[in-house]
Amino acid sequence: MKNLTKFATIAIALLTTLTACKTLENRISTVTINVIETADVAPNVVETQVLWIAPYRQSCVGVTLMDCLMVQKTTLESSAPSPEKWEYFYQDIEGYYWQLGRTNKIKVEITPKKDSPSDSPSLHYNLVEVLE
């Protein structure tokens, strides 16, 4: 009985710690800065694309549970994003720093990654310019 009580105490402490970490992570997520390894990016640009970036992130499941950017492909002439056309974006954009509450229109270069594992993105997105 003594061992069962000790095990239950440790299990509760562990769950409490994990819950507190997730809460802290949610509070810190107003600005995301990610360092991306660029050594695995092929030198040729596939295309340039213009994207709207939503002012919020959405929970999604990629390789793990994560918070995805919400994006819309658009054109340089587009004046505003369409509220119902947001799509999940499962990776980061090198050089772009997302902010909660701020909608951005950006131009990115898309290049293929060399030797990309099957469970990770095969394309690399690099910020060219923040347009709005």
The pTM is what? Answer: 0.61
Once rounded to an integer, what is the mean pLDDT over residues 98-113?
91
On whether the CB atoms of residues 34 and 92 are closer than 8 A, the answer is: yes
The pLDDT of residue 16 is: 53
- Tens-digit pLDDT profile for residues 53-87: 999 999 998 778 989 999 998 888 888 888 888 99
Least confident of 40-44, 55-59, 127-131: 40-44
C-alpha–C-alpha distance, residues 113 and 52, integer Å? 23
CA 92 to chain centroid = 5
SS3 content of the chain, % helix, strand, coil (to 5): 20, 40, 40
The sign of the torsion formed by the CA atoms of 32, 39, 124, 127 equals positive
